[in-house]
A and B are shown apart, each in its own frame.
Chain A
Amino acid sequence: MSFDLIEARELLDRGIGLLMQFEKELRELASELTEKSLRKRYTRFVLRREDYERISRLAEDLSRIRRELEDLERDAPDELEPLLSAARFIALRAQQVLGTLFRYYARFGEEPVQLTAIDEDLATAYVAGAVRAALARRNVEYEDLVEKAGSVRIKPGHDVYEIVFALRQLASVVREAMRRLRR
């Protein structure tokens, strides 16, 4: 085909249509991003090498605590098992969070990290159930502790600080439950 002005014209028409479409999509996306960012804010954590070294030591401590609790749980009377198990579970959850942070550090180095929970965490219900089971059997007052544990939430989107904060609150509930049992 030696010449075809018509096809050239059609090609230009097609090209113009295509470019207009991409232009429109990108402009809409740009507006959407700007608009959404005004409504929603995120948190991130600026962790340096020395922070990761500290986290590493804390992770080892948590691991040891979890192992010790596991040993105690193995030989403990049935009535104490739920509480020990709840404490071990909290230590494990904290360890998992730190493990994820380390994988991130291995991959991205000192880049600011945004670590968020993706599911509703079952730790709350686990701890509340354990407190009720252990204290009710020994006739110790437990309602306020169950309520306190029940009010702790780890929800999708919660950041690493919020997760650790919640786990610490749950651990405090378990600690208080232990104290009441010792009285």
Chain B
Amino acid sequence: MLSAISVENVLRNASGWIDRLVGKLEALERLFLSRRRVTDSYDPSDTLRVASTMGEAASWLVFLGDDFDSYAEFLSSARPELGGRIDALRDAIAELGKFCREAAESVDEILEIGLKVAAKSDRRSVEVTRKLYESYQRLREALKRLGRDCGYVLRSKKPGDRIDIALLANDVANCIHVVGEEMAKLRNELEKGMERSGLCYVARDADPWLADLCKRWSGYVERNGDLYMPEDREALVGVVMDGRASFRVGSSTGHATHVYVEDGGVRVRYYDEDQPVNEIFDEVLSRYCNCRSLSDGVECWCPKTEEVKDALARMLSLVTSMDIRIREKGFGKELEFAKRFVWGGGA
């Protein structure tokens, strides 16, 4: 009996509290229903990918800008008529990097998902902050000097406005595209006014001896095609401008040769980290030139004669993939082969 009373008491009390529980939950339900809005926000993981890609682009643009800076002065001196464009492009690359960074940070800002289940719900658009706005305007200024503009929707936005993330990504992509196009134009301009012959680009004002050196080298490369690794063969190119010639002689970074007309002769600077190859280059060309080995290649001073031109062209055609041939055949055999080919004038 006692138990029945006790159960009845508990039931009565509990029912009261559960009634209250239902009531409070109903109140909450009504509140949330009245404050509920349907939105078409983007998924945070997709938004994160947009921020990451923009951030990555910004980081790479810093490297690209540094590299471009290191060549800008040379390019301007090599092609003075392009100086203004080169400067503008240098600024555009730098400003594009900053713009991508600001865009990435704007998108990133809405991804404060610290609470695991809670996040800012308006994930579809970001605020055009003053920093984002100004970096975009600076990029446009740099592009204006190239006669270009970029972006679509961002053009009509002011600080404090909002922009859809997809539209911002599209605008950033467009700006990247415009800068890329200007880089492609510059590359084409650099080659403009140059005669293409085999592997060589020869400027109108090129020293004829160097121009012929390049063409002969290109011819020997053609003849010796089976000596090379495919990736090395694809990298080969020569450029001759006034009294300077530059040869890419392999696919490794810095595997190059510069030839300068100096004091009635020519100075040859061969760049290579591979000492056995340097030894062969030094020994074979020393028959014609005054050579010295360096830690990163060989430097030779040679008379500007027909014999040297042919020997140098032959030697330059042999250094490509020479390290591989030394490994396969041995140093001695490669040295003998080089001597025969360069000294003997044979095929």
Contacts and interface: CB of A to CB of B under 8 A. Distances in A.
A19 B183 contact: yes
Nearest to B119: A114
Interface stretch (B163-171, B311-319, B323-331): B163-171
A30 B152 CA distance: 14
Interface in B150-192: 165-167, 169-170, 172-174, 176-177, 179-180, 183-184, 186-187, 190-191
Q: Is the interface of A mostly helix, strand, loop or mixed?
A: helix
A139 interface: no
Contacts of B7: 76-77, 79-80, 181
Contact of B53 (A1, A18, A22, A34): A22
Nearest to A98: B28
A80 B256 contact: no
Interface in B1-44: 3, 6-8, 10-15, 17-22, 24-29, 31-33, 35-43
Given A26-B50, A80-B7, A16 B183 contact: yes
Contacts of B28: 55, 58, 94, 98, 164, 168
A167 B29 CA distance: 10
Contact of A42 (B19, B27, B41, B184): B41
Interface string A78-99: 0110011001001100100010
A172 to B, nearest CB: 6
B254 to A, nearest CB: 8
Interface string A106-127: 0110011111111000000000
B22 A168 contact: yes
Nearest to B173: A26
B347 interface: no
Interface string A34-78: 101110111111110001001100100110010011001001110
Given A29-B46, A36-B42, A161-B29, A100 B115 contact: yes
Given A5-B239, A15-B183, A51 B256 contact: no
Interface stretch (B68-76, B128-136, B139-147, B336-344): B68-76
Which bracket fits the contact residues of A? 35 or more
Interface in B47-99: 47, 49-50, 53-54, 56-57, 60, 64, 67-68, 71, 74-75, 78, 93
A174 interface: yes
B308 interface: no
A80 B11 contact: yes
Contact of B118 (A38, A114, A172): A114
Contact of A27 (B21, B41, B170, B186): B170
A12, A14, A23, A100 — which one has the most chain B CB atoms within 10 A of its CB? A12
14 contacts: A12-B184, A22-B57, A22-B60, A23-B176, A26-B172, A29-B53, A31-B166, A42-B41, A45-B36, A58-B24, A84-B14, A91-B21, A114-B120, A164-B25
Given A44-B122, A65-B21, A168-B29, 11 more contacts: A6-B247, A9-B191, A19-B176, A25-B53, A36-B43, A45-B36, A55-B31, A58-B24, A65-B20, A69-B21, A72-B13
Q: Identify the 4 closest CB pairs spanning chains A and B, nearest first.
A: A44-B121, A114-B121, A19-B180, A168-B25
